Structure 1
Amino acid sequence: MFDSGPIRRIGLVVHPSRPLVGALDELRRWAVAHDAELVQVPAHGQEREVAPPGDPADCDVIAALGGDGTTLAALHAAAAVGKPVLGVACGSLGALTATHADDLYDALDRMVAGDWSRRDLPGVGVGVDGNDPHIAINDLVVVRKGANQVTVDVYVDDDLYVRFAGDGVILATPLGSSAYTMAAGGPILAAGTEAIVVTPVAAHGGSTPPLVVGANSCVRLAVDGGYAGARIEFDGHIKDFDPHSITTTWCPSFATLVRFDGAESALAGLRRRAIITDSPRVLARDARAEAAHEIEAAASADRAS
């Protein structure tokens, strides 16, 4: 449980194209009933306007209307001012959304009553070429700009791990470990693991397995972008610079999500969305067992009649 208290101002971050009428109607209805104000806070790539502009520092909660991508943008907007983010699924429930749009009114009532808890998310601070670090909540990606390969040297606490040429490299948090890095062959980290996953992308030869690095260690990348150069992405957003030297720092409790009791775990969510699936052999065994059970049940019913 968390402290209860009134919600006087709700900041909004919205999906660029999904239907939001139902969620906005619920918000406006709740705001009128509770004498609250709705404002739209600045977030990366947000051009759709649904409310007057406002400062996230003046909000009690930031509501992200859309899906996981929208919630990720809201987390960045809210982290700098220490505000919690309520992820609202306008579609299927994702890894970061806490409630469906249809249940938004009740979700806000639960927040006012203190019937919620914090889900603190770590970030990875990434310093590029000696500049102040950007923070990635999901992942940092270094990738080739053109038809060339990039060469990456990976160091952990100044110990060389591997040098390889390929499409690039991904540094992921536990939250981001089920996204791009998993698609590239990296492991999934269970929630609460304090570690970073380093996953080479399309390495050309050699032996370059993904690496899990503890949060207290520093990962350093030396990048040679070749003739076309390399680009860098933070949580899917491209930054306009060509990286050469990259270092990481661990940022515990960087951002805060609203969580309600009874929410599914991260692993359960991966199974529900079929991102993780059982092997065909196990499923075939279950099907045989179910068929045998049905045959036995039918035989028992015949004997009873």
Structure 2
Amino acid sequence: MNLPSRLNRIGLVVHPHRPLDRALKTMEEWAATHDVDLVQVPVDGQERSVAPPGDPATCDLIIAVGGDGTTLAALHAGAAAEKPVLGVACGSLGALTAVAAANIEEALRDVAAGNWRPQVLPGVAVAADGGAPQVAINDLVVVRKGAGQVVIGIEVDDELYVRFAGDGVVIATPQGSSAYTLAAGGPVLAPGCGGYVLTPLAPHGGCCPPLVVGQDTRVAVTIEPSHVGARLEFDGQIEDVEPHRLDVSWRDEHVTLVQFGGAESLLAGLRRRRIIIDSPRVLARDDRFAPPAIE
């Protein structure tokens, strides 16, 4: 995916509550100086208005201003319109944001000059009860609505893997595996591994470890909710459906993130944010052999 020779229109997706005035002012001044239109791309649940509404298909670039959640919403809009997304962090850098708000003018200058590289992310497509598929970039979660458990069945290439009663299941891409999946005891998938992972949530007895499958594997998930029902969450957004069967498939090169030279890797980001931390024994050894501080 390539940007045109110059930026004519930028679409914005903004965090609903975080202070954004300084970042927005910088973008408005830069856009006015370079004769670029700023519009706001509509996304579900977005009530905050910062610019005139605009169709993402008419934009050359979509900028998410907020954090990883905001960037996910922008990526869904960008995927539908086949537009690249630049994530701007109004806080600490996350897994999807490429630049801090304080550096947004430099980032715009680099994008306009073509000094960026595409980071293409896959997704998992999920079709509920034979309907049209929806694509999750991070993860899809099937979770109980209330106090009762749900019974989940997982089939791989038409062969039963496991059935279990519990809170639900998380289906995650490599990008999303460091979020809910990791919190639920699942593995982190290295970028480029070409597969996704299904992680049971609080299974009641039995033996049902997380399952990593390849991109050509056909996966079906059956759902037997209790009287309180079950719900779906696509990338953290609740869907008002209660399906009985999900057919899951891989979507390669689904969305494009804007990245710059020297961008940290997924694993480096996990270590920086202390989601992955070395064991205390190793850290204590490092401390013992560290050079003495200069007073």
TM bin (shorter chain): over 0.9
1:164-203 matches, cutoff 5 A:
164-203=164-203
8 Å Cα contact 1:2/1:116 also seen in 2? no
Superposition deviation, residue 249 in structure 1? 1.3
Report the 3-state secondary structure (helix = DSSP H, G, I; strand = E; otherwise coil) of the residue aligned with 1:242.
coil
Q: CA deviation at 1:294?
A: 2.7
Which residues of structure 1 form unaligned runs of 5+? Answer: 299-305
Coordinate RMSD, CA, aligned:
1.5
- Is the CA contact (8 Å cut-off) linking 1:4 and 1:111 kept in structure 2? no
Q: Secondary structure at the match of 1:294?
A: coil
User: Residue 285 of structure 2 corresponds to which residue in structure 1?
Assistant: 285
**Contact 2:3-2:60 within 8 A present in 1 as well:** no
2:137 maps to 137
Paired residue for 2:292?
294
State the Cα distance separating 1:166 from its structure 2 match: 0.3
Partner of 2:292, secondary structure, is: helix
Cα distance in 2 for partners of 1:162, 1:3 equals 46
Deviations 1:152-179 (A, max 9, x none): 1111111111110000001000010000
Residue in 2 that maps onto 1:219: 219
Cα distance, 1:2 vs. partner?
A: 5.8
Residues 246-284 of structure 1 deviation map (CA, whole Å, 9 limit, x = unaligned): 011111111110010100111000000000000001011
Q: Which amino acid aligns with 1:25?
A: K
Q: Is residue 35 of structure 1 aligned with residue 47 of structure 2?
A: no
Partner Cα distance (2:244, 2:231) in 1? 10
Determine the C-alpha separation between the residues in 1 that align with 2:209 and 2:167. Answer: 15
Residue pairs, 1:72-83, within 5 angstroms? 72-83=72-83
Task: Give the Cα separation in 2 of the matches to 1:197 and 1:21.
Answer: 39
Question: Distance in 2 between the 1:233 and 1:2 partners?
Answer: 31
Q: What SS does the corresponding residue of 2:81 show, helix, strand or coil?
A: coil
User: 1:302: which partner in 2?
Assistant: none
Q: Is the 8 A contact 1:2 1:117 kept in 2?
A: no
**Take 1:273 and 1:237, find their aligned partners in 2: how far apart are those partners?**
24
Does residue 120 (structure 1) correspond to residue 120 (structure 2)? The answer is yes
Q: Normalising to structure 1: TM-score of the pair? A: 0.94
On the 8 A contact 1:170/1:199 being kept in 2, the answer is yes
Give matches, 1:1-305, under 5 Å: 5-290=5-290, 293-294=291-292
Q: For each residue in 1:190-232, what CA deviation from the matched residue of structure 2 results, as whole angstroms up to 9, or x when unmatched? A: 1111111100000000111101000110110111002111111
SS in 1 for 2:22: helix
> Could you tell me how far apart the structure 2 residues matched to 1:2 and 1:9 are?
15
Corresponding letter in the other structure for 2:90:
C
- For 1:287 and 1:232, locate their aligned partners in 2 and report how far apart those are by CA, in whole Å: 46
Secondary structure, aligned partner of 1:130: coil
Could you tell me the percent identity over the aligned residues?
61
Which string of whole-angstrom CA distances, capped at 9 and with x for unpartnered residues, describes residues 31-89 of structure 1?
Answer: 01100111001112111000010010110100000000000000001111100001001
Asked whether the equivalents of residues 16 and 48 of structure 1 are also in contact (C-alpha less than 8 Å), the reply is yes
Measured against aligned partners, the alpha-carbon deviations of 1:107-127 in whole angstroms (never above 9, x if no partner) come to 111111111011111111100
Q: In structure 2, what is the Cα distance between the partners aligned to 1:60 and 1:4?
A: 7
Q: Distance in 1 between matches of 2:185 and 2:5?
A: 45
Task: Measure the CA separation in 1 of the matches of 2:120 and 2:45.
Answer: 24
In structure 2, distance between residues paired with 1:243 and 1:252: 25
2:91 and 2:160 mapped to 1: Cα distance?
44
134 and 118 in structure 1: CA distance in 2 versus 1, 3 angstrom threshold: same
